[in-house]
Copies of this chain bind each other. A is one copy, B any other.
Amino acid sequence: MNVFERHESEVRGYCRNFPAVFTTAKGAWMTDQRGRRYLDFFCGAGVLNYGHNPEPIKRALTDYLAADGITHTLDMYSTAKARFIERFHDLILAPRGLSYKLQFPGPTGTNAVEAALKLARKVTGREQVVSFTNAFHGMTLGSLAVTGNGFKRAGAGVPLSHASSVPFDGYLGSDVDTLDYFEAMLLDNGSGMEVPAAVIVETVQAEGGVNVASAEWLRRLRRITRNNGIVLIVDDIQVGCGRVGGFFSFEEAGIEPDIVTLSKSLSGYGLPLALVLIRPDLDQWAPGEHNGTFRGHCPAFVTATAALEHYWQDDRLNRAVEHKGERVHKHLQRMLKSHGVEGAVRGRGLIQGVEFGDPGLAGRVSQACFERGLIIETAGIDGQVLKLLPSLTMDEATLTKGLDTIDAALAATLAAEIGQVA
């Protein structure tokens, strides 16, 4: 570990909570340099929805490399990209009745968000963007301006402008429909809130604490934005690609966003890739108006295509996620009850969170899990939510093992605390 402490920047973070040096990984398991194995309930923050190094995708990748398939093309044409576009259209868009143009920005989530915001501003001629409390959209200046986290925002070193934050679904308690507030401000030309170019929303705020927007709230948001000529951007980077069941997280609500951003699990293998889906009439980019070096990262097109072909030919994965999600949800509720711990369980599909009454508890349970060989993260502004992100393809036995480990970790944490108090 010395090499990291001596030479790597202090900015490194997750390694402080999970201080192992990883070497190999397969399926639900990661192995460190000492040969210790860890069950992965984190999936690299949602990048590894199909687990580590899944064989069908790996094969496609190694075949491509062996044949000296072209690796890097900027936005020149390649057969790898053509193949991906065709399969994405045939397997994802067409069956859902969706029609989008595809933009490949630089291959990180924040590049996709920046592209989406730019385009929304261009087509509307407006500057302001509305985002939500506890949103997370990325670390470059445009994305950071629509991110709620005060600590991250302060890192900008400059004021973050042209954006305003309004309350997410449920933010002011279950009695208040937060869109009442947004709509009132929007319709009143004296409110001080301009009609924005866009509203950007995550259907489930993952980093923000596993906050779930209801389908009804999303539909109302869609109506408000449509009626006022506002571009609706769904940032599906963390909860798209099947995380909540459907390929897109907004399918359940039956809405069609104007722009969708995807990244993380899109390549299916951990290779950087990002995608912006654009309602065709909004595709008003001039050629080259937004670019980026690695937007033609062909190995990632190849793995992404393999992922589509292997997992999205039918709805089996979708149904499996819904089924497992319910199991996890109920398990967590029972766990709270059986330990007599105050808290709430939230989530959709295989993103589930436990917000404990004691805000520090999630972090301590995460640590106790790590000691027991389970990688599990916290979320929320104070890390007050234990966030479960197992791979979508995890078998039931492994899932059970992981859930049992959480149970044991919680029990041990509570026991230790009672001990301390006594």
Contacts and interface: CB of A to CB of B under 8 A. Distances in A.
A159 B145 CA distance: 14
Interface string A137-165: 01111110111111111011111011111
Nearest to A300: B272
A114 to B, nearest CB: 5
Contacts of A184: 167, 171-172
B148 A165 contact: no
B269 A134 contact: no
B294 A107 contact: yes
A103 B11 contact: yes
Nearest to A4: B77
Given A122-B155, A149-B190, A185 B133 contact: yes
Contacts of A69: 23-25
A71 B188 contact: no
B148 A190 contact: yes
Interface stretch (A47-55, A308-316, A402-410): A47-55
Interface in A105-124: 105-111, 114-115, 117-118, 120-122
A146 B30 CA distance: 41
Interface string A248-277: 000000000000000110000111100010
Contact of A33 (B79, B120, B141, B283): B79
B269 A297 contact: no
Contacts of A298: 270
Copies, count: 4
A42 to B, nearest CB: 9
Interface residues of A, number: 150
Contact of A14 (B21, B30, B75, B159): B75
Contact of A271 (B86, B117, B192, B299): B299
Given A4-B85, A75-B14, A185 B167 contact: yes
A342 interface: no
Interface stretch (A58-66, A216-224, A326-334, A357-365): A58-66
Name the residue among A20, A131, A139, A287 with the largest chain B CB count within 10 angstroms. Answer: A139
A278 B9 contact: yes
A18 B78 CA distance: 11
Nearest to A125: B157
Contact of A68 (B4, B18, B53): B53
Contacts of A78: 21-23
A133 B293 contact: no
A76 interface: yes
A37 interface: no
B285 A297 contact: no
Given A149-B189, A162-B159, A108 B109 contact: no
Nearest to A380: B190
Contacts of A70: 22-25, 30-31, 52
Contact of A127 (B10, B71, B157, B162): B157
Given A70-B25, A103-B9, A16 B287 contact: yes
A73 interface: yes
Interface string A203-236: 0000011000000000000000000000000000
Nearest to A133: B191
| Pairs A-B, 7 closest by C-beta atoms | A121-B157, A165-B192, A72-B270, A190-B381, A13-B288, A71-B270, A11-B285
17 contacts: A3-B85, A10-B101, A25-B70, A44-B73, A52-B70, A62-B62, A110-B140, A111-B139, A114-B141, A148-B190, A150-B192, A165-B191, A172-B180, A172-B184, A190-B208, A190-B209, A270-B297
Given A9-B102, A11-B285, A107-B294, 11 more contacts: A10-B286, A11-B287, A11-B290, A21-B77, A22-B78, A23-B79, A24-B70, A111-B140, A155-B290, A171-B184, A271-B297
